[in-house]
Amino acid sequence: MRIRALIVAVLAFGAFVLLGFDVVRYGEPGALLAWEASLLDRSTLVAWWLTWACYVDVLLPLAIALLIAAWLVPAWRARIIFSVVTLLLCWRGADLFQHLFARPRPMHWIVRHETAFSYPSSHAAIVTGFYWLWAVVLYMSELPRATRTASAALLLILGIAICWSRLALGAHYLTDLVGGALLGIALVGLAWAVMPVGMTAVVAGRPRNAEE
């Protein structure tokens, strides 16, 4: 399981780097620009609300609440700690690579002029390494099937909506979102590969004595 996670991480990171160099050198493909323009300034207020889901004002209280839950519910402690670690990795990792690639933001911004660089999207990285990670964790958990399915579906839809909001607000190109998702996959895979022995089974929703 660890080897497979590491392979996924390496492949995702390779694709992330290649895409980054390509868009910095050649820009956004024309066909994507036309599609992105059709999404611009649609349901702007909803998009603005959704985009806050990956800002520190929401993430910090959410992380604190999760850590309190980890202290109160030992059975979920490993899963919660893993998710908070991947959240921080995706958050700071996206910021680091934004400075390395230094891709300028789109000029047609709505509501808020984002001043950070564009590739990769930190929102997409956080969506992948936190919200969608929780969708997988909940679906694989010991909760009732209906609860698992409903919660995973809601988190999946929320993540898609957050990514849409970045296009609707003109804050990112589609390739920024793809790059952020690839970086999120790479960081989750890396975190899984180096996670202490004994935690992987718990995070995956299996008994502690299950095979790694």
Can you state the percent helix, strand and coil of the chain, rounding each to 5?
75, 0, 25
Domains of the chain are 2-203 (1.20.144)
Total length of the chain: 212
CA torsion sign for 3, 185, 149, 147 is positive
For residue 123, give the H/E element and its range: helix 122-126
| Mean per-residue pLDDT, 150-161 | 98
Distance CA 91, CA 188 (A): 12
User: Which has the closest alpha carbon to 170: 118, 130, 209?
Assistant: 118
pLDDT tens track for 29-61:
988 999 999 998 888 999 999 999 999 999 999
With a cut of 50, say whether residue 208 has pLDDT above it.
no
Amino acid at 136: V
| Model-wide pTM > 0.85 | yes
pLDDT tens track for 129-154:
999 999 999 999 999 999 999 999 99
